[in-house]
Chains A and B, each alone.
Chain A
Amino acid sequence: MTSYSNGGLFNPAYHDSETLESDRRSSSKSHPHTNPYARGERADTHYATGQNSGDDAVGRVPWGGWQEESWRGRESIPMGLISTRPGSPPWQHDLNHSTFQIPPDSQYDRSPSVRLPPATSGNMTMRWRGMTMRRMSMFPNGDPNHVAFTEDAIRNEMENEEQNLVKELVAMSTRDRIRAIRDLPVSFDEKKHIRSQVLAFKSSKKSRQFTCFADCSENMSLSFRRCGYSIRSARQTLQLWQGIMKEIGGTFGTSVLSYFVFLKWLLMFNIFSFLVNFGFITIPLLVYDPSPNIPPNVSFRGLEILTGAGYFNNTVMYYGGYSNETLVGLVEYNMQLAYFFTIAVYMVLCGIALIFSMASSFRTNYVLADTSSNSAWQLLCSWDFNITNERAVRQHKNNLRVQLKESLSEKAQRELLTLSKKLKHFGVYLGSWLLSTGLAVGCGGSIYYLCQYEQQRATDAANWSLLQEAETLLVPFVVSLMNLVIPLFYSLFNKFEPYSSQRRQIYALVVRNVLLKMSILAVLCYYWMNVVAIKFSCWESMVGQALYRLVIVDFLFLMLGSFFGEFLSNVIGRRLLPRLGVPEFDVARNVLEIIYAQTLAWIGIYFSPLLPAIQILKFFILFYLKKVSLTQNCQPPRRSGRAAQMQTIFIALLFFPFFVGALSMVAYTAWSLTPSEHCGPFRGLTNTFSVVGVWMEYLEKIPGSQWAVWIYQNVIRSEIFYFLISLIIIVTIYIFWQVTQGRKHLIGLLRKQIVNEGKDKSFLLDKLQNLQKSKPDQKSKQKNHKKHSSGGQSNSNAMFQALLARQQLEEEEERRGVGGVPDISTSSALAQAVQARQRAEGQERDEYYRTGFSENPVNTSSALTQAMQARRRVEEDGADDAQDLPSSVSSVMMQVMQARQRAEEVDRSHRVPAHPQNLAPAGSSALIQAMLARQQAQNEYDDGY
């Protein structure tokens, strides 16, 4: 009967059952004063029906049912989307948008079934009770009728909500509706229910205004949707490396996986650019003239694969292999225009794709720079659900533990920083920054001198000797070696620097590496555009060759790097120096390597249109290479930083220095450098861009295309246009900037408001609770200490009930003292007392069965004492008031009967489980009590007459 404890615990199962409700109503009619404690009335009904033996079972069922309800209604549990528990929703946080509602009927269809309570921890029931108590305390006076009323209201409200939701969904377009239904945080069955309702609603609406058109459009949209689904599944079938990705994610976590996702993404870029270049530039040329015009004295020697020179020089691989003619076949195909526009459109598309993916990455991973909630984040958001490998899980757990311990100790450490230490740290930072920047600049300078040296030796001849050809590999070799070795130095510096957070450390490393790569590339570009462009007759092809060599050698070094960097250090770590440990996969370094490789491909797109083919091959092999190297040699990274943020930064890096650099290099080449005079599609022009001017002159002669010329004259070539465009963009940026500032301010205000409201809430709750407590406390204070004397903890509820009953009795008494003398009230008070006792017994019996007869005598006796005290009270009361004698006497008699009955019951209950050792004390005490009661009654009877 614990469910009725603590006054006003709300029990839905109780209210759901009609019979009990009617019982309660009838009893309250005979019971004029309003009882704040529902259980008193309920006790009445039980008493009236005399269900002594069944009492226990009946009392327990709703409790179990109630728990059951809360277990089943899982969708209701957090955040009050809807609540299966009637009576609670108004106070639950209504956090969700109105669309996130659930059809309530499915829950209400469930009858409050009678089940045994599930094996839950006592902890949980306590919490539930606490919550319900708090909610109850917000009711004006916990009146059950009131509750029943609100329950109805809530049910209605929820039905309305569902109707509204369905209406809202019906009003949406098909696509939005599907998305909205998908996003509902409810189970599939409920979603299906809502969907069918929406569909039914729609079809009924349609049948009312049936037109051919509506039917047609419905069919169309249906077929479109089906088409969309099949496209989606087709795309999934085409997805590359699905299984490998899953395996990597499962073993190494999301941060390592992000490298492979990035690699795959770049591979897609290259496939696209290869298709574009091959389709629009190479194929027309090959169709027109399939045989490469190779000079007769040049043959394929094998070294070309590495150097890209010699045989390849005259093929379609490079700029020089393309003609400037207008190919005349089935249609006229202007090679110059095709070359120019293909490259231009490709670069623009690349830029747009990068900007969009960068923006979407920023949007999803948008972070309000807030590092304060680090440990909460670590606890609740950092676990990677992807991981399926047992070893990885273990390591992940270990890492998390270490990190948590570190963060605990860090707090203490940070305060100990003195000024001298700070200065020392500053010195170390300055030194390492100077050193790393110096290294980058030094690399750039040395490469410049090396290039000059090479240029002096190189000749413009068509056929080089093997040695000459091999010499060309010197520059790419040195460049790649620098790219491999210098980052190792940077990592070394990083170890000496005292970084407070891991993120800063990674950023510093990334910035230094980017500086190095940019300086190397800048020097090379400068050399190509200022030295090579003047010296060689077909300089674009020379640059293309240089880039080809760089790409190939870089690939070789990547392979070597993963061999030495990962395989060898794995062997060393495992066999020779276990202190070093198995290497980790360095995501940042590897990502920068592929960014660098991609930049080379972008620069080379103008000079060597088929370079993407090489790049595709490179990335494809690299993927498998890295995968094998990873699974064979590496362990998951110890510190899994915020991978999503890193990925955003990588895409941003790819865009900002690297892509923009490559684009400006190509644009500069096209705009202001003179194309070589004897080869390539742009021979004879002052610059590449003038091909557009030539085209426009040609177009002018054709009637009907004046608009294109007009656009060229007034938009492309006019400064006013660009001036206006930049002005508009700047103004837009300024406006958005201001809006952002305003939103930031608003976010701050809203956050403050949340804090304030939280404070208000807790303050009001405290106040309410205090108010509620203060009333019963006054009365029960003097008796509460008795409660502690009772032995069994589990019985304290029953005890408390008994106490409350007695308290009630006192109230009755007081009232009688003040006002008239209604006999009924006495008897009802008595009845309550008896009921309380009964309940105590019920509890007791329950306890017997559950705890296996341990400490029973103590419990029994304590309960008995309580009951006896209550009875004595009643008797005293009866004795004091002589006028009430007959009724009180009769009530005493009734009590005696009760006591005897109980004694018998106790006896019986002891006989059933047959534990003789417990029988004696408990049974006898009950008997003694019964005897005492009878004696008392006799005495009173005697006194009366």
Chain B
Amino acid sequence: MGNKQTTFTDEQLEAFQDCTFFTRKEILRLHGRYRELAPHLVPLDYTNNPDIKVPLALIVTMPELKENPFRDRIVETFSEDGHGNLSFNDFVDMFSALCETSPRELKTIYAFKIYDFNRDSFICKDDMKRTLNKLTKGELTPEEVTLVCDKSIEEADLDGDSKLSFSDFENMVSKAPDFLSNFHVRI
């Protein structure tokens, strides 16, 4: 850091490095990106842990998320208050889970949360429909949507309760090697 203004103390950076998959430099870069979103709101000096949250509407303007159909869900999933307001810690958390080095288990857990729109700890038919509509711009007919959703739930459902529990999802992901590379946002 040298003669520049201190953004984080060494202890803070160490905590970040221990708890996320980022290096010191990346943390500082992430802080820069975070600050870019709301320059008047986010201070340069983070040594005293200011309690500042950037709202969802600003977060999703990031080029990394802007075109993602699940951007709102991603941000909501990682926001501590559930409304999509991200503190810097949440922000780091989000990109840490989505980065390349994060393990499959962690990615699976967060992916499940993202797809579980109604937060009932199951991916049910309704969640599937919403996912599908997000993925296809809602251009399938309702019958097709129902057919596809039924088919996919039937395929992935192991215990026959016609919705996907986390273990169903995990099982499916374990057979989808692309998941790891696809569920990855470069920052």
Contacts and interface: CB of A to CB of B under 8 A. Distances in A.
A751 interface: yes
Contacts of B90: 187-188
A767 to B, nearest CB: 15
B144 A405 contact: yes
Question: Which of B19, B66, B140 neighbours the largest number of chain A CB atoms within 10 Å of its CB?
Answer: B19
A246 B100 CA distance: 12
Contacts of B68: 385, 387-388, 393
A366 B69 contact: no
Interface string B126-140: 101001100111011
A262 to B, nearest CB: 13
A233 B175 contact: no
Interface stretch (A447-455, A642-650, A713-721): A642-650
A371 B37 CA distance: 43
A758 B161 contact: yes
A389 B159 contact: no
B154 to A, nearest CB: 9
A554 B67 CA distance: 39
A254 B66 contact: no
Interface of B: 15-21, 23-26, 63-64, 66-70, 76-83, 89-90, 92-93, 96, 98, 102-106, 109-113, 115-116, 118-121, 123-124, 126, 128, 131-132, 135-137, 139-140, 144, 147-149, 151-153, 155-156, 158-161, 164-167, 169-170, 172-186
Contacts of A375: 148, 151-152, 155
A181 B103 CA distance: 12
A408 B23 contact: no
A19 interface: no
A116 B15 CA distance: 36
B15 A192 contact: yes
A181 B21 CA distance: 11
Contacts of B66: 388, 390
A754 B171 CA distance: 11
Contacts of A368: 174-175
A601 B36 CA distance: 47
Given A74-B113, A178-B18, A188-B20, A644 B178 contact: yes
Interface of A is mostly: helix
Given A181-B19, A376-B155, A380-B123, A758 B160 contact: yes
Interface in A393-407: 393, 397, 400-401, 404-405
B93 A187 contact: yes
A79 B155 contact: no
A95 B15 contact: no
A401 B144 CA distance: 10
A367 B175 CA distance: 5
Interface centre among A74, A118, A400, by most chain B C-beta atoms within 10 angstroms, is A74
Interface in A361-375: 364-368, 370, 372-375
B80 A189 contact: yes
Contacts of A374: 155
Q: Which 3 A-B pairs have the closest CB atoms?
A: A758-B159, A365-B177, A376-B152
B171 to A, nearest CB: 8
B184 A385 contact: yes
B15 to A, nearest CB: 5
A187 B86 CA distance: 11
A381 B173 contact: yes
B89 A187 contact: yes
Given A181-B19, A187-B80, A390-B67, 11 more contacts: A77-B113, A78-B112, A376-B151, A376-B156, A385-B182, A386-B181, A388-B64, A405-B140, A642-B178, A759-B159, A762-B159
A196 B14 CA distance: 11
A755 interface: yes
A183 B106 contact: yes
Interface in A49-97: 70-72, 74, 77-81, 92-93, 95
A762 B89 contact: no
Contacts of B170: 95
Most A CB contacts (10 A, CB to CB) among B109, B112, B178 go to B178
Of B82, B103, B116, B181, the most chain A CB neighbours within 10 A belong to B181
A384 B64 contact: no
A644 B25 contact: no
A914 interface: no
16 contacts: A124-B118, A183-B103, A187-B78, A195-B19, A236-B26, A254-B182, A380-B111, A380-B172, A385-B98, A392-B67, A408-B151, A643-B178, A644-B177, A645-B177, A754-B159, A758-B160
A900 B73 CA distance: 51
Give the bracket for the number of chain A residues in contact with chain B.
35 or more
Given A79-B121, A192-B19, A386-B182, A74 B169 contact: no
Contact of B167 (A95, A393, A408): A95
B8 to A, nearest CB: 13
A404 B159 contact: no
A250 interface: yes
Nearest to A401: B136
A764 to B, nearest CB: 12
B121 A80 contact: yes
A393 B98 contact: no
B177 to A, nearest CB: 3
Contacts of B121: 77-80, 92-93
A798 to B, nearest CB: 25
A751 B170 CA distance: 13
Given A77-B119, A131-B120, A642-B178, A754 B20 contact: no
Interface string A642-668: 111100100000000000000000000
B126 A393 contact: no
A379 interface: yes
B178 to A, nearest CB: 5
Given A373-B172, A383-B135, A754-B159, A254 B144 contact: no
A232 B92 CA distance: 18
A191 B77 CA distance: 17
A537 B151 CA distance: 70
Given A380-B131, A383-B182, A74 B120 contact: no
Contacts of A388: 63-64, 66-68
Contacts of B144: 404-405, 408
A644 B118 CA distance: 31
Contacts of B79: 74
A849 to B, nearest CB: 24
B135 A379 contact: yes
Contacts of A128: 120
A401 B138 CA distance: 9
A385 B155 contact: no
A757 interface: yes
A165 to B, nearest CB: 14
A769 to B, nearest CB: 13
Contacts of B111: 380
B108 to A, nearest CB: 9
Contacts of B184: 254, 385-386
A185 interface: yes
A178 B67 CA distance: 34
A762 B159 CA distance: 9
A635 B79 CA distance: 36
